[in-house]
Every structure is written in structure tokens, then in C-alpha cells.
Amino acid sequence: MGDQVPLGARPAAGDRVLSGKRVVLGVCGGIAAYKAVEVCRRLGDAGAIVSPVLTRSATRFVGPLTFSALAAEPARTSLFGSEEVGAGSGAPAPAVPAARSAIPHVELGRNADAVVVVPATARLIGSYAAGISSDLLSSVLLATRAPVLLCPAMHTEMWEHPAVQDNLTLLRRRGVHVLDPAEGRLAGGDYGKGRLREPEEVVAALEAVLVDESSGTAGTVSSRADAGGTLRGVRAVVSAGGTREPLDPVRYIGNRSSGKQGYAIATELQARGAQVVLVTSSPLEPPAGVEVVGVETAAEMAEAVLGAAAGADVVVMAAAVADYRPSAPAPVKLKKSGAPVRLELVPTLDILAELGAHKRPGQVVVGFAAETATGDQLVELGRGKLESKGADLVVANDVSADGASFGSDRSAAVIVSRGSLTDLGVSDKRAVASKLVDAITDLLGAAGVPAPKKGANA
């Protein structure tokens, strides 16, 4: 899943994470391309079966023959299979010869255990984000389902350009790993952020990505809270934000929910390795690596949540779903007449109750209860909702507590289940998310939902 890759993160000594792994080493045209030669050598030394793929402009900076001499596979520069450069004499020799087909991008992409691009230029990042295959490297990136690590290098102005940053955000969201460049000397004597990371940092980051994606067998290497991925293979759906029920094309009935709590829960679940679908009506920037479904009304939220819940192990209804909607929204903008207006509101589907009523065995359903109550009364209201909606956990929170109102970063919450009660007091929403995901993990374990599931969401 997409992440900011940490520096210096390296599996414990003795782990040969790269040994026998097929790694496509993409090289783009940039002054930093010379460092890719050293990356190639180090990957080979670590036991990887390296297939170098150079863009046309990369060949203006570094020779494909150099890569062929260092790598197990010959360097490739073209979409057309015949254009291999050199023999690929570097160690180790692959047990199974790599693709030498007429469609090398598909073969390379399909056979790869990882793809690393060193350096990744703004152009490559742009075409990858847009899904454009203009040469062999961009085609391999689209054809592969293996983890991808981009190591950008460019001038600071280009690195900071919103187009580049937006493309990287999009790619991270899709699960692509990015090793941010360092600050330092750049081409032309300039100084700033945009300098390619050192070869040993690139190799360490690739090892970290492979460990993280495979099942967390080699120690703490991830920037995630829980690199071991205790929830790896678990599929979760989280709803967030307040729904909007249209009165006419311009106006709606809404509520003050910010979506922050749902986003914190989605982030926490994803951080522990779960595969997360976030159904949201909030304008907040979603966490990297989660699948986002944007909705507006309670009906849209019901459709998206119930659809995704069918295959989910965990469903968390953190959204403030409207209980009622206008029965007949006007198709055109309503004009004022000065006379009182009567609105007819009709109930919406109670999504949580629906989930509770049709829960699959082992599925954990979580609800929220936003109340203006404290102490025992808050707990009672939470317990009542647990029963009435058939949920396994309810987070009851007092929205009238000081510093814990709607939109705030804090919440006054208790987590109630059938057998337990955890009073969190006034806490940061991320802390609430963490405690809630602990409780979810316990219930999943008790229900025998296999966690971790090795590599299930790699």
C-alpha cells in the first residue's frame, strides 16, 4: 500500500529480503541516473535478479551496457523485444530466464517482485499517474501488480510544483511507495530539495517495501504504526462525514460532522495492514493507501457501505448519517414567497441497523452514538444502541463536553461492547481510533478471523 517510505529502515541483519527477487530497475533521464548504476550493483550484491529498463533519455546520461554488465538480465530500452543491450552478465543468474518475448513490458511487469525507479522524473511520475504508456518503463509500471518504489529527483521548483505533488498524492493513494528526495546539491550548482537519495538508502527502502508488502516477517521496517500488519488481509469499510440531504439543487439539510474520527479510524486500520474502503462525504484529504468512495446523501452512503460490507470483515459506521431526508426535493431552485414553508421529512434507511441485522459470522460491526450525556447515562445510551442496532461495539461520545464538540480534534468517548467498557475520557481522535482498532482486533481474533493473513493485500 502507498506510503511515505522511511529512511534507513532496514530489516534485521541476516535477512536476505532481496535474495532471488526479480526487480525491475527503471532508470529515467536525469543527471542522477549515474546513481542508478550503483543501485543496480547493490541490488545484484543483495541477490536480486535485476532487469534494468532505461528510458530513451536515460541512455543520454548512462550507457545500457553498464547496467547489462552489472545485472542478471540485459538492459532494455524499448517496447520492442529485440532491443536488448548486452548479455546481462552480472550475478546472480536467474533460475528461470526472464522474459524475452515480443511484449516485454507485460512479461517484465508480470514476473517482477518489485519495480524501483531511480531516478523518477516529473515526466515519468506524470505519465504513471495519468496511466499513459509511452515507452517500456511506463508500460511496465502499468502492467505490473508488484510493489512499486519511486525515487524522484528533480529541481526544487519542479518537485514543489502542485502538478508533481498532486500526481504523487494520487500514486500514493493507489499504493505506490515514494522515497522523497533529499535536500542537497542539484544539477547546475543549485541547492535545494530534489536530490536523489543515496544508493544504500534506495536499496534499504526497497527492502522495507518488500518486507512490508509480503507479511512483515523481518522486523519493524515500515513507517506504519504496526509494520507487522496484525490486520493484514482484513477487509474493512469505514464511513465518515455528515450526509447532505437536498432540498433543491442548491440547498441541503446537513450536520456538523467533520469526518475526522472516521478518517482517523481508516488511517489506523490501514496502518495495521487492513485493506480499507473509506465511504465519505467529508472534504478532508483521505489517508494514503485507502480506497475512497465519495458520497453525499444517506441513500448514496447506504448503497456504497452495504455494497462494500458484503465482503468485509469489519464495518465502522463513523458517519453522521441523516435520519430523515426531504420527501420530495425540488428539481429547481426554490424561490422565497415570504410565506412559511412546510417540509415533509421521511426516514432514511438505518445503515448500521441493516448491517447488524445481516451480519456475516465473524464480521465485526461498529457504530457511534453522538450524545449530550456523560458518565453512566452515556454508557447506557451506548449500550442501548449496541442492542437496538445489533452492533458489536459502539463508541458513545459526549458532544457537549468541553473541547470535544463537532469538528474538534478531540472526543469524549467510551467504547462499549457486550462484555466490556473502556472510558477514554477526553482524548485525541487518533487515540480513540487506536483504542477502537485494538477492540476490533480482539473481536476479530475471538471470532477466528485470520489475522494476519500473509500477503493477502500486498
As annotated, the active-site residues are 255
Q: How far is the CB of 282 from ligand CTP (least distance, A)?
A: 13
Q: Which of 450, 448, 373 is nearest to 413 (CA)?
A: 373
Q: Which residue has the cell 439543487?
A: 249
Q: Three cell numbers at 187?
A: 544539477
Cβ–Cβ under 8 Å, residues 364 and 314: yes
CA distance 109 to 328: 52
Q: Three cell numbers at 420?
A: 466490556
Cβ–Cβ under 8 Å, residues 284 and 263: yes
Q: How far is the CB of 437 from ligand CTP (least distance, A)?
A: 16
Could you tell me which residues come within 8 angstroms of residue 336 by beta carbon, excluding any fewer than 6 positions away?
none
Q: How far is the CB of 425 from ligand CTP (least distance, A)?
A: 21
Q: How far is the CB of 358 from ligand CTP (least distance, A)?
A: 13
Which residue's CB is nearer to ligand CTP, number 115 or number 317? Answer: 317
Cβ–Cβ under 8 Å, residues 248 and 330: yes
Which residue's CB is nearer to ligand CTP, number 230 or number 348? Answer: 348
Q: List the beta strands (DSSP E) in 176-274.
A: 177-178, 182-185, 191-195, 235-240, 245-246, 252-253
Which residue's CB is nearer to ligand CTP, number 171 or number 355? Answer: 355
Which residue's CB is nearer to ligand CTP, number 61 or number 368? Answer: 368
Alpha-carbon distance values, 2 to 134, 237, 248, 264, 343 (Å): 24, 18, 39, 17, 46
Which residue's CB is nearer to ligand CTP, number 351 or number 443? Answer: 351
Q: How far is the CB of 320 from ligand CTP (least distance, A)?
A: 7
Measured in whole angstroms, the distance separating CA 375 from the mean position of its chain's CA atoms is 37
DSSP structure class, residue 320:
B
Which residue's CB is nearer to ligand CTP, number 129 or number 277? Answer: 277
Q: Three cell numbers at 382?
A: 451506548
Q: How far is the CB of 269 from ligand CTP (least distance, A)?
A: 16
Element at 332 (helix H, strand E): none
Cβ–Cβ under 8 Å, residues 201 and 241: no
Residues in contact with ligand CTP by the rule CB under 6 A: 298, 317, 319, 321, 323, 348-352, 367-370, 385
Q: Three cell numbers at 379?
A: 454508557
Which residue's CB is nearer to ligand CTP, number 117 or number 440? Answer: 440
What is the distance between the terminal CA atoms of the chain, rounded to a whole angstrom?
7
Q: How far is the CB of 355 from ligand CTP (least distance, A)?
A: 7
Q: What is the dihedral of CA 283, 285, 289, 291, to 10 degrees?
A: 10
Cβ–Cβ under 8 Å, residues 206 and 116: yes
